[in-house]
Structure 1
Amino acid sequence: MKFFKRAAAVGATVALLTLSGVSQAGATTYTGKDCSGAYPCLRFYYNSNFKGSEANFVGYGKINNLAGYEFATSGNGKGLSVKNNAASAFFIAKTTDETAAIYYSSNQGGPCDELWAQGSKQAQANKLNKTYNNNASLKIFDGSQAAGICYQF
Structure 2
Amino acid sequence: MNISKKVAAVGVATALISIAGVTQAGATEYRGTACAGLLPCISMYFNSNQQGSHSSFAGYGKINFEGYNFASASNGQGQPVKNNAASAYFRAKTSDESAVIYFSSNQAGPCDWLWAQGDKFSIANRLNKTYNENASLKLVDGSLTVGECYQF
TM-score interval, smaller chain: 0.7 to 0.9
1:2-81 to structure 2, matched below 5 A, reads 25-63=25-63, 65-81=64-80
1:101 counterpart residue number: 100
TM-score (norm 2): 0.82
Cα offsets for 1:21-42 (capped at 9, x unmatched) = 8886221000111000100001
Amino acid at match of 1:51: Q
Q: Is the 8 A contact 2:111 2:129 kept in 1?
A: yes
Q: Is the 8 A contact 1:90 1:124 kept in 2?
A: yes
TM-score (norm 1): 0.82
1:111-150 to structure 2, matched below 5 A, reads 111-146=110-145, 148-150=147-149
State the 1:67 CA deviation.
Answer: 1.1
Q: Is the 8 A contact 1:116 1:144 kept in 2?
A: no
User: CA–CA distance in 2 between the matches of 1:148 and 1:101?
Assistant: 11
State the aligned residue count. Answer: 132
User: CA–CA distance in 1 between the matches of 2:129 and 2:73?
Assistant: 26
The alignment yields a C-alpha RMSD, in angstroms, of 1.6
Aligned-pair identity in percent equals: 64
Amino acid at match of 1:34: A
Q: Which runs of 5 or more structure 2 residues have no equivalent in the other structure?
A: 1-20
Cα offsets for 1:108-134 (capped at 9, x unmatched) = 110000000011100000000000000
Q: 1:147 to 1:73 in 2, by over 3 A?
A: closer
Amino acid at match of 1:129: N
Q: Is the 8 A contact 1:30 1:58 kept in 2?
A: yes
